[in-house]
Structure 1
Amino acid sequence: MHTSTTSTVPLDPWSAAQLAEATGGYWYSGQIPQGEIKRILTDSRHAEAGDAFLALKGERFDAHDFIRQVADHDCQIAIVSHPVDVEICQLVVKDTRLALGQLGAYRRGQHPQLKVIALTGSSGKTTTKEMLGSIFSQLAPTLVTRGNLNNDLGVPMMLLELRAEHQYAVMELGASHQGEIDYTSKLVQPHVAGILNIGTAHLGEFGGRDGICRAKAEIYRHIDATGTSIIPAQDDFSDEIRAAVQTEKVISFGVGGDVFATDVELQTQSARFQLNTPEATHPVNLPFAGQHNVHNAEAAAAFALAAGVGIAEIIRGLEQAQAAKGRLNFIQKGHHLLIDDTYNANPASMRAAAEVLAQQAGIKVMVMGDIGELGASAAQQHYLLGRDLVAQAVNFVVAVGEFAPAVLEGARSTQYGKKMQAFLTQEQALPFLIDLVDTHQPQSMSFLFKGSRYTHMETLMTDLMEKL
């Protein structure tokens, strides 16, 4: 397990002077808190004595409204963008969202010994991050991005968890708009950073893949001058990515790159391959299924090599890595297999998941929810998915959600249209899935569930498991 999520070591405390210095704020009415401040947090439900509550303001909420509530729970300090009429020490700053970033950057600056690895990409970020966490955590205490804390709020929140014991930090950086990765990579000050791929995730926000490439390529702007840029050797945007690199040192991964896999053997729940580096070739038994995860392992190896990790430690870390919850987790229920890949989805990862399902035993059923953040191209992207998924070696594809009709239409444009069933809701899909199991008794079945986070496809998976 990663030290970042399991350590009970208390966070390094803050002083009132440090909070003011980091944010450029001032203490309202001269009320300055005395003693140590144990942590800064943004969730009012967890604020208690010794904490500083930072009041964020969003489009539909204003946490300044909760300051009386945190004061009632003995939290005596608030960081605010305007004073409020509550008896509590208030550090007034220009913008609490920016103040969170300033505090994260301040904490990062307090750890000059820290070696930071930062990565972004349209798919594979979470799994590659977990692989890197496994590699670095065996060497020294390592901070690893938790869950999806990879945006302009999540990244500084993770930096606030830095402790003196940390020697490494593996930071996942996401982008939902131009400039976001420029902002977060400046906060984390990486020594090694790079892009995994340029796909079609978040197409809606960026208006096209070239826009996605520009947004992701911001990660190269703030790498330490003596650091290393990591690039995919074969990507539709490899030339544009290479042009964005500003460091002398570059390591590429994938076919034609510096670090690449050969002799790949894909198994039902794992993969074996030879890992080729500039120094030598080594066998790897990867506990992850699918060609896409072999590619993630190539990337993880490139990042780790750039950070000075030896090949033996890299292989050990890859072989001991564990998938994040909802990332191709294999669950055996009786003689049926359920694959939980519900953490999130984009078009590339949906296709990759279908390839993994195609290698399983028995009757193979792909259960897919909608993919979000595709903008105006959403219907077309779902149509193409329907066309491509039924062509895989699976027996049934069950689409659930608003775009299920578009998926169905795509499937019917092929000779495999009869494999596809479409439902607008999970409640409508569940009886069909139960009926499928009953119809195919006593054969074993393999189900794979996947969709964007907001579709909560794990709910449908759990409902089906209860009936098996």
Structure 2
Amino acid sequence: MHTSTTSTAALEPWSIEQLQQATQGYWLNDKKPAGQIKRILTDSRDAESGDAFLALKGERFDAHDFIAQVAAQGCEIAIVSRPVDADICQLVVEDTRLALGQLGAYRRQQNPQLKVIALTGSSGKTTTKEMLGSMLSRLAPTLVTRGNLNNDLGVPVMLLELRPEHQYAVMELGASHQGEIDYTSKMVQPHVAGIINIGTAHLGEFGGRDGICRAKSEIYAHISETSIIPAANDFAETIRAAVKTEKSLSFGAGGEVYASDVVLDAQSSSFTLNTAQGSKTVQLPFAGEHNVENATAAAAFALAIGIGLDDIVAGLEQAVGAKGRLNFIPHKDYLFIDDTYNANPGSMRAAAEVLAQQQGIRVMVTGDIGELGSSAAIEHYKLGRDLVSVKGINFVVAVGEFAPAAQEGARSTQYGKKMQAFLNQEQALPFLIDLIETHHPQPMSFLFKGSRFTHMETLMAALMEKL
């Protein structure tokens, strides 16, 4: 599986006994490696002497095919679910996918000093995680989920990077099916955990928001100290019913940790953070009301794990957004906002509000949203209708298979002329260049956003190159 997951820091080595104990596997022909194992890898390209290569099998790939290759690279150990004809020590387990989870869980149990936060939600997970990482890593070594390593494979890969000096871990948990968060949160064993929100991401897999709420609420079964609840979400009561811990803390409007005196600027915001420990003003280097909400969520998680208000505020004020998450890029006389990391209907609407705050002619360039199942066409229709209705947005350029559905939605309003639909990026690029030439020398602000698979950053880069 070609996802590079290696870290530069020296990891805790494994003994062959630990490897066998964690996975309950057996050594093929009783042939065991000598010495310690420096790390466990799932990417064959990085495997070398001292590593154990864990061969995952997916729907479209089988890493058992790469075992001869990793042996040639000097790797002496493979963790397999079936013996392979290769000159390498093989630890045979029932299922390598489950073995990866067992190894992650084992590493977590070996670090009892760790204070763990786990969070899930339909949108804002990554930004909230980055804000928490900013707060906690100021105080002590902290492990924070990298990129989108938040599923049943990514979570154990992150746990394998735990080292004795880590005092905190912030784990983002995603769900693409029922039972996944139950599996990963049991592995992570969080002290403090909860849901940030229930939106419309992954509607297809869960058959509606009730299903999404059920899947995300699995996180509450494995918390040892405090459960975090989004007070302002319309599923707040359903979420409360899932809480098993005595202690809980709610955030957002009507919650115990909330924002007041909110001021939204073009590229930042400020607000008063209100908590049981007191109130403090926060100068947040993130734009948009949704990021103020993410900041109050991060504050609630941090308070529940015992972080003081001053440290929370300092962490929020120093936080840096993840790549492709509302990054502001001035280029020539134009502003480009890179929000291409991912998209769901809620985050798309939130991004439009941020664009509406910017200078000059405001152009929103959207790619398709994935994982909406049978509701994809209607969700894109509603999105088209809503985006063109945002006051301050001058043009919406929809790109992709569902762009015509978005355009139909736009045409159901009096603002239909604001939207142009294109089936691919090649068709959209000349229109965007033309738009710039038509409005020159006026200032313009562009925001690019779409689901990961649409690679909207490619279109953004192509336009920037033409300027």
Q: Same fold (TM over 0.5)?
A: yes
Residue matched to 2:67? 67
Give a deviation string over 1:18-55, Cα, whole Å, max 9, x none: 10000000111111111110000001011000000000
Deviation at 1:279, TM superposition (A): 2.3
Residues 1:406 and 1:361: Cα distance change in structure 2 (over 3 Å) = same
| TM score, norm. by length of structure 1 | 0.98
Alignment of 1:21-420 (within 5 A): 21-224=21-224, 227-392=225-390, 393-420=392-419
Alignment of 1:408-447 (within 5 A): 408-447=407-446
Give a deviation string over 1:152-204, Cα, whole Å, max 9, x none: 00000000000011000000000000000000000000000000000000000
Deviation at 1:9, TM superposition (A): 3.3
**Paired amino acid for 1:371:** I
Query: Displaced runs of 4+ in structure 1, greater than 3 A?
Result: 5-9
Residues 1:285 and 1:6: Cα distance change in structure 2 (over 3 Å) = farther
Give a deviation string over 1:240-285, Cα, whole Å, max 9, x none: 1000000011100000100000000000000000000012110000
CA distance in structure 1 between the partners assigned to 2:62 and 2:449 by the alignment: 33
CA distance in structure 1 between the partners assigned to 2:82 and 2:384 by the alignment: 51
The count of residues paired between Structure 1 and Structure 2 equals 462
| TM score, norm. by length of structure 2 | 0.98
Runs of 5+ unmatched residues, structure 2: none
> Partner of 1:360: helix, strand, or coil?
coil
Give a deviation string over 1:425-451, Cα, whole Å, max 9, x none: 000000000000000000010000000
Give a deviation string over 1:290-313, Cα, whole Å, max 9, x none: 000000000000000000000000
**Paired amino acid for 2:372:** L
Residue matched to 1:452? 451
CA distance in structure 1 between the partners assigned to 2:466 and 2:281 by the alignment: 42
**Paired amino acid for 2:140:** A
**Paired amino acid for 1:458:** E
CA distance in structure 1 between the partners assigned to 2:303 and 2:187 by the alignment: 23
CA distance in structure 1 between the partners assigned to 2:183 and 2:6 by the alignment: 28
> Partner of 1:466: helix, strand, or coil?
helix
Give a deviation string over 1:105-136, Cα, whole Å, max 9, x none: 00000000100000000000000000000000
**Paired amino acid for 1:33:** P
Please tell me whether the aligned partners of residues 7 and 161 of structure 2 are also in contact (alpha carbons under 8 angstroms). no
Give a deviation string over 1:355-408, Cα, whole Å, max 9, x none: 000000000000000000000000000000000000112000000000000000
> Partner of 1:339: helix, strand, or coil?
strand
Give a deviation string over 1:334-359, Cα, whole Å, max 9, x none: 11000000000000000000000000
> Partner of 1:299: helix, strand, or coil?
helix
Residue matched to 2:17? 17
Runs of 5+ unmatched residues, structure 1: none
Please tell me whether the aligned partners of residues 277 and 309 of structure 2 are also in contact (alpha carbons under 8 angstroms). no
Please tell me whether the aligned partners of residues 144 and 169 of structure 2 are also in contact (alpha carbons under 8 angstroms). yes
Deviation at 1:60, TM superposition (A): 1.2
> Partner of 1:133: helix, strand, or coil?
helix
**Identity across aligned pairs (percent)?**
77
CA distance in structure 2 between the partners assigned to 1:376 and 1:7 by the alignment: 39
> Partner of 2:135: helix, strand, or coil?
helix
Superposed CA RMSD in Å reads: 0.9
Deviation at 1:324, TM superposition (A): 0.1
Residues 1:6 and 1:316: Cα distance change in structure 2 (over 3 Å) = farther
